[in-house]
Amino acid sequence: MMTLLPSPAAPLKIGTRGSPLALAQAHETRDRLAAAFDLPQDAFEIVVIKTTGDDRAMIAADRPLKEIGNKGLFTKEIEEQLLSGGIDIAVHSMKDMPTEQPEGLVLDCYLPREDERDAFISPGHAGLAALPEGTVVGTSSLRRRAQLLNRRPDLQVVEFRGNVQTRLKKLEDGVAAATFLAMAGLRRMDMTDIPMTAMSPDDMLPAIAQGAIGIERRSDDSRTGDMLAAIHDTDTATRLAAERTFLAALDGSCETPIAGLAELDGDRLRLRGEILAPDGSASHAGELSGPAADGPAMGRALAEELLARAGPDFFAWRG
């Protein structure tokens, strides 16, 4: 058994994107594995992989990602490295991951979920309700844009891309008066000292799987599978199973205005979901509660209920 564990001479290679948040998530994964198996940090190697989505030169900064075709934009190169053996595991934000993985890869290890809420961030205003009419809010998220315009049609939403640091700089420069970021990212980067307030999910339901880190590996790599089992969090898995089945049943991607959150109370699960028109002109929201083991069935049922209420033309804009 001991000989199967990684060592400084034969480290476990952890693939990640190079953004500060991605690196923080890779470091958390390494530290949890090191602690679980009492290994030194240099039994792990962090391998930074540049993805098409990171290549700014290719992408005009003011174009929404959905126009560029975001499917696999931030994961393709990382998954290629996994399949070819360049890395052994890949660390991902689950909210950016499609509901199905390529042939030969599995994504079934989740770290304990961080705060799943969105943060309202503004140097000058206390909260969403305090924003004067017509205020400019920056976001690159189709979901946040739709939710904002649904609740506050008077606001002006501008495209706000880049990593967390870039977006905060734009706020400082006055490009917008407020923005939204995931609480999880701010906490993982130790950035909770910026002017922000957490949004209640009653006011802004988060993205599917927001705040959860998933670890992907080759399906035939059972040594790595055994290692990952030691740091897997089953509550997070139960919640994501419900949320991601809801997402899959809606045929959504991370660039579709869909929100959802599953919460556990003992062995009871409460699933909330929302689908919106991209311009915020319509929203359909609902919730179901039941035994935690029924999460995926509840995800499908909630998706069907919302689709039925929305009607067949609701998703027509997807083309």
Which sequence positions are flagged as catalytic?
Answer: 96
Give kind and range of the element (H or E) at residue 107.
strand 105-110
Nearer to ligand PBG, 155 or 213 (CB): 213
Q: How far is the CB of 254 from ligand PBG (least distance, A)?
A: 7
Burial of 102 per CB tally in 10 Å (0-12, 13-18, 19+): middle
Q: How far is the CB of 241 from ligand PBG (least distance, A)?
A: 17
Distance separating alpha carbons of residues 294 and 308, to the nearest angstrom:
21
- Contact predicate 43/3, CB 8 Å: no
- Check binding of 93 to ligand PBG (CB under 6 A): yes
The two structure tokens encoding residue 292: 């935690």
Stretch that binds ligand PBG, among 35-43, 182-190, 238-246, 290-298 (CB under 6 A): 182-190
- Give strand pairing partners of 110: 214
Q: How far is the CB of 281 from ligand PBG (least distance, A)?
A: 24
* Phi and psi torsions of 148, nearest 5°: -60, -50
- Check binding of 115 to ligand PBG (CB under 6 A): no
- Check binding of 181 to ligand PBG (CB under 6 A): yes
- Dmax (CA) for the chain in angstroms is 64
- CB count within 10 Å of CB 174 equals 10
Stretch that binds ligand PBG, among 77-85, 102-110, 180-188, 232-240 (CB under 6 A): 180-188
Contacts with 90 (C-beta within 8 Å, 6 or more apart), sequence order: 14, 15, 16, 75, 78, 79, 81, 82, 215, 216, 217
Instruction: Give which of 175, 106, 173, 101 is closest to 136, Cα–Cα.
Output: 175
Nearer to ligand PBG, 101 or 163 (CB): 163
- Contact predicate 97/253, CB 8 Å: no
- Check binding of 16 to ligand PBG (CB under 6 A): no
- Check binding of 184 to ligand PBG (CB under 6 A): yes
Stretch that binds ligand PBG, among 27-35, 78-86, 178-186, 234-242 (CB under 6 A): 178-186
Nearer to ligand PBG, 207 or 301 (CB): 207
- Check binding of 75 to ligand PBG (CB under 6 A): no
Stretch that binds ligand PBG, among 79-87, 90-98, 150-158, 235-243 (CB under 6 A): 90-98
Per-residue binder mask for ligand PBG (CB under 6 A), 191-230, x = binder = -------------------xx-------------------
The angle at the Cα of 78, spanning 89 to 102, to the nearest 5 degrees, equals 85
Site of interaction with ligand PBG (CB under 6 A): 93, 95-96, 181-182, 184-185, 210-211
